[in-house]
Amino acid sequence: MKLEELSVTEKAAMLSGGSEWDSRGNERAGIPSFVMSDGPHGVRRQLGAGDHLGIGASKPATCFPTAGTVANSWDPALAEKMGEALGREAHDLGVNVLLGPGMNIKRNPLCGRNFEYYSEDPQVAGRMAAGLVKGIQSNGVASCPKHFAVNSQELRRQASNSVVDERTLRELYLTGFEIMVREARPWAIMTSYNQINGTYAHENKHLLTEILRQEWGFDGTVISDWGGSDSAVAAVKAGGSLEMPSPGYTSVRELVGAVQAGTLAEADINVRAGEVAKLAERTHFEGVGRDDLMADDVAKDHHNIARHVAENTSVLLKNGSSDGKIAPVLPLKAGTRVAVVGDMAETARYQGSGSSKVNATDEENLLDQLKKIDGVEVTGYQQGYERHGGKNNVLVEDAVALAAADTTDVVVAVVGLDERSESEGLDRSTMAIPEGQNDLVKALAATGKPVVVVLVAGSPVELPWFDDVSALLYIGLSGQAGASATARVLTGAVNPSGHLAETWPLKYEDVPSSGWYPAIGRDAIYREGPFVGYRYYETAGVPVRFPFGYGLSYSEFTYYGLTSDEKGITFTVTNDSDIAGATVAQMYVRGPVGGAMRPDRELKGFKKVFLGAHETKTVTIPFDRYTFRHYDVVPGTWKTETGEREILVGDSVENLPLSTTQMVQGDIDLCPPNPVLGHYLKGQVKDVTDNEMTALFGHGVIAPGKTVVFGENDPISSWKDSRGFVARTVAKVLANKEAKVRQKTGQPDLNILFILNMPPRAMCKMTQGMIDSAMVQAVVKIANGHTFRGAGSFIAGYFRNISANKRVAKELENK
Minimum distance from residue 588 beta carbon to ligand BGC (Å): 32
Single-letter residue type at 162: S
CB of 348 to ligand BGC, least distance (A): 24
Residues 293-352 that bind ligand BGC (CB under 6 A): none
Q: Side-chain half-sphere of 802: how many Cα atoms within 13 Å?
A: 5
Residues 603-642 that bind ligand BGC (CB under 6 A): none
Tell me if residue 245 falls in helix, strand or coil: coil
The minimum distance between CB 95 and ligand BGC, in angstroms, equals: 12
Write out the H or E segment, with its range, that includes residue 694: helix 690-697
What's the angle, vertex CA 417, arms to CA 416 and CA 421, rounded to 5? Answer: 170
Q: Which residues contact 757 (CB under 8 A, 6 or more apart)?
A: 154, 155, 156, 157, 158, 159, 425, 715, 716, 717
Instruction: State the minimum distance, in angstroms, from the CB of residue 227 to ligand BGC.
Output: 7
Binding-site size for ligand BGC (CB under 6 A) equals: 8
State which residue, 146 or 598, has the beta carbon closest to ligand BGC: 146
- Tell me the three state secondary structure of residue 34: coil
Looking at the Cβ atoms of 36 and 500, the one nearer to ligand BGC is: 36
The Cα 97–Cα 741 span in angstroms is 33
34 binds ligand BGC (CB under 6 A): no
By beta-carbon proximity to ligand BGC, the closer residue of 235 and 444 is 235
Among 225, 254, 427, 651, binds ligand BGC (CB under 6 A): 225
Single-letter amino acid code for the residue at 103: M
SS3 state at 353:
strand
Question: CB of 437 within 8 A of CB of 385?
Answer: yes
Q: How far is the CB of 203 from ligand BGC (least distance, A)?
A: 17
Cβ closer to ligand BGC: 99 or 500? 99
Residue 607, φ and ψ in degrees, nearest 5: -150, 130
C-beta closer to ligand BGC: residue 147 or 686 = 147
Give me the least distance between CB of 113 and ligand BGC, in Å please.
8
Q: Minimum Å distance from CB 149 to ligand BGC?
A: 13
CA distance to 100, 117, 287, 361, per residue, from 292 (Å)? 22, 30, 10, 15
Catalytic residue from among 38, 75, 165, 225: 225
Do 303 and 463 touch, CB atoms closer than 8 A? no
The site string for ligand BGC over 59-98 (x = CB under 6 A, - otherwise) reads ----------------------------------------
Pick 420 or 527: Cβ nearer ligand BGC: 420
Q: How far is the CB of 223 from ligand BGC (least distance, A)?
A: 9
Question: Whole-number minimum distance, CB 46 to ligand BGC, in Å?
Answer: 9
Q: Where are the beta strands (DSSP E) in 278-376?
A: 315-319, 337-341
User: In sequence order, what are the beta bridge partners of 426?
Assistant: 423
Shortest Å, Cβ 162 to ligand BGC: 15
Angle between helix axes 122-137 and 76-92 (nearest 10 degrees) is 40
- Closest approach, Cβ 525 to ligand BGC, in A, equals 22
Asked if residues 52 and 46 have their Cβ atoms less than 8 Å apart, the reply is: no
102 vs 683 by CB, closer to ligand BGC: 102
Q: Which of 81, 559, 127, 548 is nearest to 315 (CA)?
A: 548
Q: Is 471 helix (H, G, I), strand (E, B) or coil?
A: strand
Options 117, 226, 536, 626; binder of ligand BGC; rule CB under 6 A: 226
Nearer to ligand BGC, 65 or 245 (CB): 245
Work out whether 427 is an interface residue with ligand BGC (CB under 6 A). no
Task: Look at the chain and count its residues.
Answer: 815
Q: Say how far apart CA 368 and CA 382 lie, in whole Å.
A: 13
Nearest-approach distance from CB 156 to ligand BGC, in angstroms: 13
Q: How far apart are CA 345 and CA 369, in angstroms?
A: 10
Tell me whether residue 96 or residue 801 sits nearer to ligand BGC (CB atom).
Answer: 96
Give 99 or 329: the residue with its C-beta nearer to ligand BGC. 99
Report if residue 52 touches ligand BGC, rule: CB under 6 A: yes
The answer to whether 330 and 319 have CB atoms below 8 angstroms apart is yes
* Residue 121: active-site member: no
Residue 379 has a CB neighbour count (10 Å cut-off) of: 17
Q: Which residues contact 292 (CB under 8 A, 6 or more apart)?
A: 92, 93, 94
**In the set 3, 35, 99, 142, which binds ligand BGC (CB under 6 A)?**
99
- What SS3 class is residue 177? helix
* Sheet containing 337-341: order of strands: 315-319, 471-474, 451-456, 410-416, 337-341, 377-382
Q: Which of residues 769-808 bind ligand BGC (CB under 6 A)?
A: none
DSSP classification of residue 327 = -
Task: Tell which one of 8, 10, 26, 38 touches ligand BGC (CB under 6 A).
Answer: 38
Instruction: List 416's β-bridge partners, or say none.
Output: 456
CB 76 within 8 A of CB 606: no
Q: Between 355 and 408, whose beta carbon lies closer to ligand BGC?
A: 355
Contact 116, 123 (CB under 8 A): no
Question: CB of 481 within 8 A of CB of 311?
Answer: no
Question: 562-584 burial string, b = 16+ CB within 10 Å, else e?
Answer: bebeeebbebebbbebeebbbbb
Smallest gap, in angstroms, from Cβ of residue 523 to ligand BGC?
21
Residue 399's Cβ-side half-sphere holds a number of Cα atoms within 13 Å equal to 31
Amino acid at 606: F
Task: Return the residue of 23, 137, 355, 586 that touches ligand BGC, per CB under 6 A.
Answer: 355
Q: Per-residue x/- mask for ligand BGC, residues 132 to 171, rule CB under 6 A?
A: --------------x-------------------------
Cβ 538 vs Cβ 599: under 8 Å: yes
Q: Which residue is nearest to ligand BGC (CB)?
A: 52
Nearer to ligand BGC, 360 or 762 (CB): 762
* Residue 333: DSSP 8-state: P
Q: How far is CA 77 from CA 38, 345, 576, in A?
A: 22, 30, 25
CB-wise, 113 or 645, nearer to ligand BGC?
113
- Footprint of ligand BGC (CB under 6 A): 38-39, 52, 99, 146, 225-226, 355
Give the active site residues.
225
